[in-house]
Structure 1
Amino acid sequence: MQLEIKNLNKRFGNKKATDNISVTLENGVYGLLGPNGAGKTTLMRQITTILKPDSGEILYNGKNIWKNEDAYRGIIGYLPQEFGVYKNFTAKQFLKYMASIKGLSKKYSEGKIESLLKLVGLYDVRNKAVGKFSGGMKRRIGIAQALLNDPQILILDEPTAGLDPQERARFRNLISQISKNKIVILSTHIISDIEAIAKETIIMKDGQLLIKGAHKEILEKMEGKVYLITTNEESEVQYIESKYKVVNLQRGIENTEIRVISDTIPNVRNVQSIKPRFEDVYMFYFEIQDTREV
């Protein structure tokens, strides 16, 4: 199974939402990482045929997806970031409704819905109104609807946003469980989710593809760029903040530890090179946000 994206371009006014994107995906989970406005959602909407590119093409097993849209849509599962439900429907009723929209037969749907409700851990509440579900339960019913047609390509846009750690862990385990023999694209700002389940990560910025690779490969490129500085002088803390990309600043009783990214060894005392983490990768490519712990 192969999904090949070739020279994909999409513009909205003066903004290039996808700028000559080319990437090839095969079975497994791919993390799609980037800040707001990077073009992630536009890319996913083009893969699902919701949006058509201005130029370029997407090939599924060598065939252009827009030349046989109906057949291609039959192998796609999609959970958008904003996923609405009919609050008065029970979980089972909602999935039956979604199955009918997808054109699935009643006989097929009945058995599939039962198995999916068990898979996502909602079978015991199948007759409960979806409007009374927690945020995590609604995301799980969203996954269930995306899996109704047993898709070969599953696209998930910010699936763990707003979930507590327990629900996120449950969600990750579910994605890992269903990813066999599928192409799964997982877009999220939560780096730990990508670290946990993605075999490769795609990093986008300003509509462009910055990097694609396995975590080990990406982290190797960060070797020698991450440092830990220890200081007990506030003036030095201020100097470091003004000169370097600070990933994390943690104040202790006696000392302050500052994790920084730099192409060269910082010109300060008590500095040591340390192993990069995936959070460092994000901070290296994008603007530093306030991650300090005071």
Structure 2
Amino acid sequence: MNILEIKNLTKTYGNKNANDNITVTLENGLYGLLGPNGAGKTTFMKQITTLIEPSKGEIIYNGKNIKELNEEYRAVLGYLPQEFGVYKNFSAQQFLQYVAALKGMNKKQAKNKIKELLELVGLYEVRNKAVDKFSGGMKRRVGIAQALLNDPKILVLDEPTAGLDPQERARFRNLLSQISKDKIIILSTHIISDIESIAKETIMIKDGAMLMKGNHKEILSGMEGKVYCIKTSNENEVMEIQNSYKVVNIQRSIDHVELRVVSDKMPRYENVEIIEPKFEDVYMFYFDLENTREV
């Protein structure tokens, strides 16, 4: 069992706390990290991966401070940053061999692992092609492979499915679900479906602080009675609702419009009903979004 204890974690830049007194304990399993841009998710992950030092607080892995563990802790880490760069003239295989050497893996161990991972992410057939010629999604898959090279016990993934098509995302979700039984996986994403079906728990961060942590059922239970469907055929009313409420999506038919709304109080319109919450409702309720989705 792996246990990661994060205690009063705070990171300050000038007068602003990018992370503010975050305390959470993580065990084996996959944790979704949810929050808007600028919420402090990347800062949180960079402290876990030792890329930046906390201003206050500590991180404990299996009972020992990660500062004391030092290289021993880094040896169990896998990390895929949001901005992932590769040497453009390297092939996928050469790049993974290079990363394996940096991680201190012996050549035989690295050769077998690289073959396994290239097959796993669907790049074995193009292993000798220059990464510079890869699509964005293929480059992302190289990044996923390098994060898994050392069979990490703590795997931190910052927007790992950016640029992947739906089939690739599904394959990646299945992979994470499969390997999460003996690892702590932290997955930051804006694609709610990436964590909705596979996350053991979701951690929600807003303004640098932890808003809540819970499993899918627990988080959705807090949304009961806060999600509504409003039907109207009046376009002026549609605009009024959009200006007055958080609208998750708008669906148009021939003779009316249905608006999915999240609100603490029932909207005062003629044709309103309470409906079952979905995970995307949670995001809209707690975080302001710039755009309403119209379908």
Q: Confirm or deny a common fold (TM above 0.5).
A: yes
CA–CA separation in structure 2 for the residues paired with 1:203 and 1:213? 9
CA shift for structure 1 position 107: 2.5
- 1:180 is paired with a residue of what secondary structure? helix
CA shift for structure 1 position 122: 1.7
Equivalent residues in 2 for 1:60-75, closer than 5 Å:
60-75=61-76
- 1:197 is paired with a residue of what secondary structure? coil
- 1:87 is paired with a residue of what secondary structure? coil
- How many residue pairs match? The answer is 294
* Alignment correspondent of 2:49: 48
* Alignment correspondent of 1:98: 99
CA–CA separation in structure 1 for the residues paired with 2:257 and 2:85? 46
In structure 2, give the amino acid aligned to 1:115: E
CA shift for structure 1 position 166: 2.1
* Alignment correspondent of 2:294: 293
The 8 Å contact of residues 120 and 174 in structure 1, kept in 2 or not, is answered as no
* Alignment correspondent of 1:183: 184
TM-score with structure 1 setting the length: 0.96
CA–CA separation in structure 2 for the residues paired with 1:241 and 1:50? 42
CA–CA separation in structure 1 for the residues paired with 2:259 and 2:128? 52
CA–CA separation in structure 1 for the residues paired with 2:163 and 2:109? 33
In structure 2, give the amino acid aligned to 1:267: R
* Alignment correspondent of 2:157: 156
RMSD over aligned Cα, in angstroms? 1.3
The 8 Å contact of residues 247 and 288 in structure 1, kept in 2 or not, is answered as no
In structure 1, give the amino acid aligned to 2:125: D
- Report the identity percentage: 70
CA shift for structure 1 position 279: 0.6
Post-superposition Cα deviations, 1:144-165, rounded to whole Å, max 9, x if no partner, equal 1111111100000001112222
CA–CA separation in structure 2 for the residues paired with 1:275 and 1:211? 20
* Alignment correspondent of 1:173: 174
Structure 1 gap segments, 5+ residues each: none
Q: Could you say if the C-alpha distance between residues 65 and 235 of structure 1 is closer, same or farther in structure 2, counting changes exceeding 3 Å?
A: same
In structure 1, give the amino acid aligned to 2:227: V
Post-superposition Cα deviations, 1:185-230, rounded to whole Å, max 9, x if no partner, equal 0001111111132111000011000010001110000000000010
CA–CA separation in structure 2 for the residues paired with 1:200 and 1:111? 33
CA–CA separation in structure 2 for the residues paired with 1:123 and 1:109? 15
The 8 Å contact of residues 140 and 163 in structure 2, kept in 1 or not, is answered as no
CA–CA separation in structure 2 for the residues paired with 1:70 and 1:6? 21
CA–CA separation in structure 1 for the residues paired with 2:54 and 2:101? 29
CA shift for structure 1 position 174: 2.2
CA–CA separation in structure 1 for the residues paired with 2:264 and 2:38? 27
* Alignment correspondent of 2:108: 107
Post-superposition Cα deviations, 1:1-27, rounded to whole Å, max 9, x if no partner, equal 100100001011122111000001111
